[in-house]
Amino acid sequence: MTSILVTGGCGFIASHFLNYMVEKYPGTNFINIDKMNYCGNVKSVKVKECDNYTFFEVDIKDKEWVKNILESYNIDTIYHFAAQTSVDKSFKSPLLFTEENIVNSHIFLETCKKYNDGGGKIKKFIYVSTDEVYGESENNNQNEAVLNPTNPYSATKAAFELIVKSYYKSYNFPIIITRSNNIYGSGQYPEKVIPIFINCLLENKKCPIHGDGRIYRNFLHTSDVIKAFEKILFNGTIGEIYDIGSNDEIKIIDLAHLLISLLKPEDKKEDWVQFVENRDYNDLRYIVKNDKIEKLSWRKEKNLLEGLLETIEWHKSNPTYWKNNKENENENENENENENENENENNLFSDLNKYLFASIGKIKDDVNLNIYDVD
């Protein structure tokens, strides 16, 4: 593997992956494409000056740009991180998630397949999915073949997993899928629970708790998950699905109390929590199995307390890191929420129609179909 394309590389997890991999493997080229939406930040990539790193501000649905990058850099491996990932936003704008996580990702996958046709150029296409595709877990007898997503975000991730797997079966396309627990660490956009709680407490605001806070989540530090991605990159089996899990399960209310004890040790915990309206649906817990990833000699190394202390220090040192992004996000949400949803719907069906008619045209050209009426 000498030339790796990373999508969404200015996002939270992918930027950590690039920062780790680019310096560790100077003989490998890393090409980052990112359309730079509200939760992307070029500052998150610390390896911009490295000779083996290249960045393009490109949308994954831009077939010509993606095709040119694949060919110009002789891409042999793809790590597909790019996605809309906010569960709360997916309840408000589900069509946006369908467009971004299914339609645009499918356009990207098809472009990669066409580049690969007949030449075996791509060695691995690794799709970064989520534990949420399993839906609510009641025990650890998880069956990786059974998907039961319960919110629009996880449904779109599950849907694209099925498309990816179909390319493996239909076209022998060399795919791998990863499903991890909740990831946290430095540089995470403050729409996820840990950075939200830390920022609120640093700003002397209460932690907003969905419902009664008695849902469970497992948390995995970025330093651990990127090492799992490294193992999968070099040793993962084509066609396989790898869960990447943590044993740091904690109730959200207890997570808030833990952070309060670290940031407001003299205060009463109940003084710094505020219970807010629950999500339309909120899974009790997600459970994944680590047996496959552990066979690749991966083990989680950082415990939750250690990771939280490091993350708190980062937030203290970077209080305005996301200021401009947050202001832009708030403006768009407040002024254009309904307009954007209508636009997403129009764009979605426009893209689907263009893709459909282009495909029909190609079929007619390829097999020289005769169209006629049947009495």
The residues pairing with 78 across neighbouring beta strands, listed in sequence order, are: 5, 125
CA atoms of 350 and 344, how far apart (whole Å) = 10
CA atoms of 171 and 110, how far apart (whole Å) = 11
CA atoms of 52 and 50, how far apart (whole Å) = 5
CA atoms of 289 and 142, how far apart (whole Å) = 7
Task: Flag whether pLDDT at 63 surpasses 70.
Answer: yes
**Is residue 153 flagged as an active site residue?**
yes
Tokens 């899974």 map to which residue?
283
Q: Which of 260, 256, 249 is nearest to 275 (CA)?
A: 256
User: Which residue ranges make up each domain of the chain?
Assistant: 3-320
pLDDT digits (tens, 9 = 90+) for 150-196: 999 999 999 999 999 999 999 999 999 999 999 999 999 999 999 99
- Fold annotation for 3-320: Rossmann fold (3.40.50)
Q: pTM here?
A: 0.89
Residue-level pLDDT at 16: 98
Residue-level pLDDT at 368: 43
> Which uninterrupted H or E stretch holds 227?
helix 222-235
Is 333 strand, coil or helix?
Answer: helix
Which amino acid is present at 127? Y
Helix, strand, coil % over all residues of the chain, rounded to 5: 50, 15, 35
Q: What are phi and psi of 373, to 5 degrees?
A: -80, 150
Q: What are phi and psi of 166, to 5 degrees?
A: -65, -35
- Max distance between CA atoms of the chain, in angstroms, equals 84
The beta-strand segments (E) located in 26-158 are 29-33, 53-56, 77-80, 124-130
pLDDT digits (tens, 9 = 90+) for 235-279: 999 999 999 999 889 999 999 999 999 999 999 999 999 999 999
Please give the structure tokens belonging to residue 264.
């407001």
More confident residue, 281 or 22: 22
Residue-level pLDDT at 351: 63
pLDDT digits (tens, 9 = 90+) for 285-311: 998 999 999 999 999 999 999 999 999
**Is residue 266 flagged as an active site residue?**
no
Catalytic residue (one of 99, 131, 224, 329): 131
CA atoms of 112 and 92, how far apart (whole Å) = 31
Tokens 């090492």 map to which residue?
227
63-72 vs 105-116: helix axis angle to the nearest 10?
A: 40
**Is residue 99 flagged as an active site residue?**
no
The residues pairing with 244 across neighbouring beta strands, listed in sequence order, are: 180
Catalytic residue (one of 34, 76, 100, 132): 132
**DSSP code, position 370:** P
Please give the structure tokens belonging to residue 269.
């915990």
CA atoms of 244 and 216, how far apart (whole Å) = 17
pLDDT digits (tens, 9 = 90+) for 122-159: 999 999 999 999 998 876 656 676 899 999 999 999 99
CB contact at 8 A, 132 and 153? yes
CA atoms of 171 and 116, how far apart (whole Å) = 10
Burial class (CB in 10 A: 0-12, 13-18, 19+), 314: middle
Please give the structure tokens belonging to residue 314.
């980062």
Catalytic residue (one of 53, 79, 127, 153): 153
